[in-house]
Structure 1
C-alpha cells in the first residue's frame, strides 16, 4: 500500500465535501502525489500549467487545510506539472500501514488523560457536564497554553449535547467574541449579537484572558454573564491565568468569574506525559516503543500539544516514508518541534490585531496616517509592544507602520515609556496585551 496516496485520497475527500462537483472534478480530482519531504512539504502533480495556476491561486489554502486535517499538522504544498515534477521515490518495502487518521480525535472525557496535574479540573468539568447549572457556575479553568483546557471545554460540550440534545450550547473563543462585538457595533447589529449569546443554555468561552483591556467587550460580556447567570444557565470559562492576574479586567467581572469554582491545570508529570504519548499513538494505530515514548516524555515537559505534535510527526514519517518510530527519528521530530518559532511578520500581525481589538480600531488605521486620539494611542501602544517583543530596529519598525521615520518611532517609544510610568491602567493593559500575544 502506498500510504502517501492514502493520505492524498483522504485529503481529496475533505475537499470534495466543500466544493461543487464540477470544480472538484476539474481542479482537485486529478492531483497526484509526488513526494513528502521531511521539512513538512508535500509535492503534488497537476495535469497542466493552466490548472496548476488556478489551483495555486484559489485552492492551495483548502488543500493545506485538508492535509492538516488528515495528518494532524500543517504542511506546505508545492504544485508541479508532469514535465517538471521530480522523480517519485520508490515506495518503501511493503509493511502494514496504519489507518489514515482524521488528524483530530474527539475531545471527549474518555480521551482526556488524567493525572495529578489535572485531576481536579477534570472532575469539576465532569460535574458541570453531568449537572449543568447545578454544580459550579461559573466554572473557571486556568493553566498554561497547551495543557488541555480546550479539550475539557469541548468535552463538556460533547457530554451536555449527548444528554440534553435540546440545549442551545454556544462555544466561542474570546478573540472571536471580541471581533463579533466590533463588527456588530460598526454594522449596527448589536441586538442580533446579544440575542445569539444571551439565548444560550450553556456558554463556553475559551481564552477569556483576551477580554483584558477591551472596554466594549467587557461591557457586553458583563451583561451577557448577568443575563445567563440570573436565568440559571451554565457558564464555563478558560484562561491562561487566574482571574486575579488578568490585570486590566474590571473588578465587577473579576468578582463574577470567582463566584463559582476555579480549577487549575498544571504541566503533566512524567507518567502522565508517557500516557498521553501512548494514547495519541494508539489513536493513530502507531506502534510506539516504550523507550521512544519515554524519550519524548523526558524532553518535552510543559506542553501537551508538543507531545502530541511529536507523535504526529512520527506517524507522518511512518505513513509517508515507512520510517519506524525509533529514538533517532524521535530526536529529529523533537528538534523540529523545539525549533518551531513564530516568524516575526506573523508576530507583528498578531500584535497589531490584539492592540486593534483592545482599542477598537482596525490594523489599517494603526498602520495609517490618521491622528485621532484613539488611533494615535493604539499606534503608540502597538509600536511599543512590537519593540518589546521582537526587538526590531527603529527603522524596521517604522517600515511596518506606514514607512514612518526613525525619529517618529523614537518619539513614540519615549512617549509610551513616560505614559506607562504615570498611568497604572495603561501599564496593566500593555502587560495584558503582551501576555495575550505570547500565549
Structure 2
C-alpha cells in the first residue's frame, strides 16, 4: 500500500515537472529517472548515468525537493543514485538450492553491423569530446534525394583544408528522429580525422558540452576549458535543441563566434530549424541562421529500398544462410515509411523471425511482425503561429488581439484556447508559449491551460469545438 502511495507521489511530481519544463526538456532530463524508495526524511531516485545525476543535482535539486515537500512535508533531502552502481544481492538464502545453469539461448543477431565499443577516435587532447561510433561512416550512409544536400555538404566539410574559409560555416543540419543526423556527424568526424590526423576535430553532444562546462566551473578550471575549445579546427555539435542554461548558452555563443571568426569550421545538428529553437539565446540562433541549413527529409521509396538492401547485406554477412525473399524486403521498404531507424528495426525483426522460428519468412508473416510499424508516420510539427491563425479565424478576432493585453471576454476565451492548444499540440514549455503570446508569464499560460481543461470536462460543445480546431490545425 505504501509503495502504491509513493508511486502516486512520484507520478504527481513528474506531472508538475512536465508542465513547468515542457515535454522536450522533461524527456531530456527526467524521462529515465525512476523512483527507488522513500524513508522518513529522504527520497531516493535513480538515473542510468553519472552525467544525468550531476545535471539534475546541479539544476533541478531545489525544485525536486520543493515538489516532494509539497507532497510530504517531512521530506528534507533528495538522493539521486546511478542505477549501475546499485549492487544486486548475491548472498544465497540458507534454505535455497543452488541455481541450475539455464541452457544456452540463441542470441538474436541484429541486421546492422555488430555494436562495436564506442570510443573517441583521434588524438586524446585536453578536450576529446563525446565518443564516436565506428559503425557510422560515409560508406555506410545511404544517400538519396531527401538527404543528398546535407550529405554532400558534410563530405565537403570533412575534406576541406584546415584554416581555409568554407562557405558552409556554420553548417546546420536538421531533421526528425531516425533520419541520419547523428550518423552524418559521426561520419564527418571520422572522415576529417582520417584526412588530416593533425587536425583537431571534436564531436560533442549538447548534453556533454553542458556537463563539461558545469564541471569546469565547479573545479575553477573554466579558463583552460574555454581555451581548449577555441583551439578546435572542426567542431561538431549534436542535439542542439537540448542546450539549456543562460551561462552555458552565453559561453557557447562566445565559442561559436571565436571559431567562425577564426575560420574554424562548425557543424550543428538539431531536430528543427534554427529559428524554431526558442529556448536558445537569440544571439546563438542568429549566428546559426547566418550559415547554411539543410533539412534531411523523410526517406522516399528509392532511399528506403537502398537502406533495406544495404542493411540486409550486412545482416547476411553476420547470419550465414539468412534468406528473406525479395517480395518481403520490398514490402518492408514500401510499408515502413517513417524513418531509417524504423526500417532497420523492421529488418531486425524479420531476421529474428527467420532465426527463431525456423520457418520461411513470408509476406503474410511479415505483415504480422511489422504491423505496429506499417504506415506509422512522424506527427506533423505544429507551430504556435499556425494555432494562433486558426483560432483567430474561427473566433473572428485578429492575431494581434490574441497577443494584446485586452481583457474583454471575446478576446480572453480564444486566447486561452489558443494557449491550451499550444501546450497540447507542441512540445513548447510554458515560458516559451507565454513569450509567443505577447510576452506573458508562464503562470498565465498555466492558468489558461487549467481553465480550458476544466471547462472541457463539463461542456461537451466546447470539447467538440476544440477537437474541430485540432483537426483544422492538423490539415
TM-score range, shorter chain: 0.5 to 0.7
TM-score of the aligned structures, taking structure 1 as reference length: 0.55
Q: Distance in 2 between matches of 1:120 and 1:200?
A: 25
Q: Tell me the equivalent position of 2:343.
A: 307
Measured at CA, do residues 108 and 250 of structure 1 come closer, stay the same or move farther in structure 2, by a change above 3 Å?
same
Q: Tell me the equivalent position of 2:176.
A: 144
Is the 8 Å Cα contact of residues 313 and 333 (structure 1) preserved in structure 2? yes
Q: Tell me the equivalent position of 1:106.
A: 135
Q: Distance in 2 between matches of 1:206 and 1:218?
A: 15
Query: What pairs with 1:342-421 in structure 2 (closer than 5 Å)?
Result: none
**From 266, 285, 302, the counterpart of 1:254:** 285
Please tell me whether residue 184 in structure 1 is matched to residue 216 in structure 2. Answer: yes
The CA deviation at 1:183 is: 2.8
The CA deviation at 1:116 is: 1.1
Name the SS for the 1:284 alignment partner. Answer: helix
Q: Distance in 1 between matches of 2:259 and 2:180?
A: 26
Is the 8 Å Cα contact of residues 206 and 238 (structure 1) preserved in structure 2? yes
Name the SS for the 2:370 alignment partner. Answer: helix
**From 206, 220, 227, the counterpart of 1:174:** 206
The CA deviation at 1:326 is: 3.1
Q: Tell me the equivalent position of 2:391.
A: none
Query: What pairs with 1:310-349 in structure 2 (closer than 5 Å)?
Result: 310-319=346-355, 322-335=358-371
The CA deviation at 1:84 is: 7.3
Measured at CA, do residues 323 and 258 of structure 1 come closer, stay the same or move farther in structure 2, by a change above 3 Å?
farther
Question: Can you list the C-alpha shifts for 1:89-138, whole angstroms capped at 9, x where unaligned?
Answer: 8x89xxxx999951467211121112111111111111111115543111
Is the 8 Å Cα contact of residues 420 and 426 (structure 1) preserved in structure 2? no
The CA deviation at 1:214 is: 2.5
Q: Distance in 1 between matches of 2:253 and 2:85?
A: 45
Q: Distance in 2 between matches of 1:99 and 1:299?
A: 18
Q: Tell me the equivalent position of 1:234.
A: 265
The CA deviation at 1:239 is: 1.0
Please tell me whether residue 194 in structure 1 is matched to residue 219 in structure 2. Answer: no
The CA deviation at 1:269 is: 0.6
**From 258, 261, 267, the counterpart of 2:298:** 267
Please tell me whether residue 124 in structure 1 is matched to residue 153 in structure 2. Answer: yes
Is the 8 Å Cα contact of residues 142 and 264 (structure 1) preserved in structure 2? yes
Q: Tell me the equivalent position of 1:349.
A: none
Question: Can you list the C-alpha shifts for 1:60-112, whole angstroms capped at 9, x where unaligned?
Answer: 9xxxxxxxxxxxxxxxxxxx975374x668x89xxxx9999514672111211
Q: Distance in 1 between matches of 2:288 and 2:88?
A: 43
Q: Distance in 2 between matches of 1:140 and 1:417?
A: 25
Query: What pairs with 1:32-51 in structure 2 (closer than 5 Å)?
Result: none
Structure with the higher helix share, 1 or 2: 1
Q: Distance in 2 between matches of 1:231 and 1:256?
A: 14
Q: Distance in 2 between matches of 1:118 and 1:418?
A: 35
Please tell me whether residue 83 in structure 1 is matched to residue 115 in structure 2. Answer: no
Name the SS for the 1:145 alignment partner. Answer: coil
TM-score of the aligned structures, taking structure 2 as reference length: 0.51
Q: Distance in 1 between matches of 2:110 and 2:439?
A: 58
Uncovered stretches (5+) of structure 2, i.e. residues with no partner: 1-83, 90-96, 117-133, 317-321, 377-419, 447-475
Measured at CA, do residues 160 and 416 of structure 1 come closer, stay the same or move farther in structure 2, by a change above 3 Å?
closer
Measured at CA, do residues 419 and 125 of structure 1 come closer, stay the same or move farther in structure 2, by a change above 3 Å?
closer
Q: Distance in 2 between matches of 1:279 and 1:106?
A: 13
* RMSD between superposed Cα atoms in Å: 4.1
Is the 8 Å Cα contact of residues 168 and 200 (structure 1) preserved in structure 2? yes
Is the 8 Å Cα contact of residues 207 and 238 (structure 1) preserved in structure 2? yes
Please tell me whether residue 158 in structure 1 is matched to residue 187 in structure 2. Answer: no
Q: Distance in 2 between matches of 1:416 and 1:128?
A: 34
Uncovered stretches (5+) of structure 1, i.e. residues with no partner: 1-54, 61-79, 341-383, 390-412, 431-439
Q: Tell me the equivalent position of 1:115.
A: 144
Q: Tell me the equivalent position of 2:50.
A: none
Measured at CA, do residues 337 and 248 of structure 1 come closer, stay the same or move farther in structure 2, by a change above 3 Å?
same
- Rg larger in 1 or in 2? 2
Q: Tell me the equivalent position of 1:52.
A: none
Q: Distance in 2 between matches of 1:418 and 1:203?
A: 34
Q: Distance in 2 between matches of 1:56 and 1:231?
A: 44
The CA deviation at 1:423 is: 3.6
Name the SS for the 1:137 alignment partner. Answer: coil
Q: Distance in 2 between matches of 1:303 and 1:111?
A: 16
**From 281, 294, 301, the counterpart of 2:312:** 281
Q: Distance in 2 between matches of 1:161 and 1:120?
A: 22
